Amino acid sequence: MKSWWRPPELRIQESNLEPRHATWLELFFDLSFVVAIGQLAENLSQNISLVGFLTFVGLFIPIWWSWLNSTYYSNLFDTDDLLHRLLTAANMVAVVALAVNLHDGFNETSVGFALSYTAIRILLIVEFLRAGWHIVAARPLTTRAAKSFGVAALLWLISAFMPIPVRFGFWILGLTVDLSMALTAGSAVHVKLAPHDSHLPERFGLFTLIVLGESFWAVIRGVEQQPWSISSGIAIVFSISIIFSLWWIYFENLGGSAIQAARTCRSIAAYQTWLYVHLPLVIGLTATGVGLEHLLSITPDLVVPLAERCLICTGVVLCFLSLGIIYIAGLSNKARLHCKIRAMYRFGSAALVLVFAIAGADLLPVELIGLIAAVCATQIILDLRQVRVAS
């Protein structure tokens, strides 16, 4: 901390657009979401069903949205002074409270979940109003954001006093208000105040690493439930291969071209697509980790039950579809054909994994994991071959 008091500054001015990295405080803040992601994965693991998956997705959305809004503020206005640190610490407390109330978030703990989320919105309002007070150029954005977050916070607060299921209608309405603000802000946000094109991708990459780390932990939990054998050892290798392949595929295309497109007024839609498609991506990564956990815990000579087969295949399909869209959204003029081809690889792989879900009733755990690992590894081989041909 350089000083006790340092007003927010606009971090995306032309003079500040040199490569920028996440601060230690930002990295520490992201760690608070490890607890929330872990609890979400645990919830899904305990209820492998369509209802369980929809509940998992329904609770994942406000968690991810909270992280996204805080990340967006830091990207634009972050300043390391005492007040910002205290607000960040309070935000972390609210995130942990949110995680504590996730275990039965659509039932007994839904009131605590709603109040925790309300606290996060209020803290964000304070930060945006503070930035608008000191930065005149950003005032149209900060005022708009504060009003939207204020309405959303009020809806979430009211929901705490409403009966189930009316309570969840207020949740949906609150999230809709927030999302509509982001989608309808137009050039005032996405062009005039386009995010930093190196800092934001790094933050998204760090959050993706958090989710991938949860997948490793899920593999360990699954392995612990079975005695060691050649079959289980092979399944572990295949599982790690899937996680590693998804890491490779994502980070080979992690860049700021979609954000640059927004800054040059070329394509606001590309930036918005790149931003929001990360939600199904991290949902898919988390579901894939839980799916691997359950497959590894199944007796090796038993076929994979329908619920477990659908879960892991759905998770991987979501990953591939999201990665394909990310490639298209990140198109640059120099790499247009290059990215389109890779996107087609992802979409084709998603279709193939979907076949495993439909026609894989007789597959053993190691066979299903092996087939998915082969599909993932093939993506890397095709990408490497494309790079070699292009060079």
List pLDDT tens digits, range 341-388. Answer: 888 889 999 999 999 999 989 999 999 999 999 999 999 998 888 766
Candidates 360, 330, 359, 356; CA nearest to 342 is 330
Assign residue 36 a region (left: φ > 0; alpha: ψ between -120 and 50; beta: otherwise).
Answer: alpha
305 prior amide bond cis, ω within 30: no
Most confident of the ranges 55-59, 342-346, 387-391: 55-59
CA–CA separation, 370 and 368 (whole Å):
5
Environment class of residue 140 by beta-carbon count within 10 Å: exposed (0-12), middle (13-18) or buried (19+)?
middle
Residue 90 identity (one-letter amino acid) = A
**pTM for the full model?**
0.91
Calculate what percentage of the chain has a pLDDT beyond 70: 86
CA–CA separation, 191 and 198 (whole Å):
16
Average pLDDT score over the chain: 85
Cβ partners under 8 Å of residue 325, min gap 6: 273, 277, 343
CA–CA separation, 34 and 43 (whole Å):
14
What is the largest distance, in Å, between two alpha-carbon atoms of the chain?
66
Is residue 391's pLDDT more than 70? Answer: no
Most confident of the ranges 40-54, 212-226, 251-265: 40-54
250: Cα within 13 Å, side-chain hemisphere: 29
332: Cα within 13 Å, side-chain hemisphere: 9
Is residue 14's pLDDT more than 60? Answer: no
The pair of structure tokens assigned to 87 is: 């607000």
In the chain, how many H helices and how many E strands? 15, 0
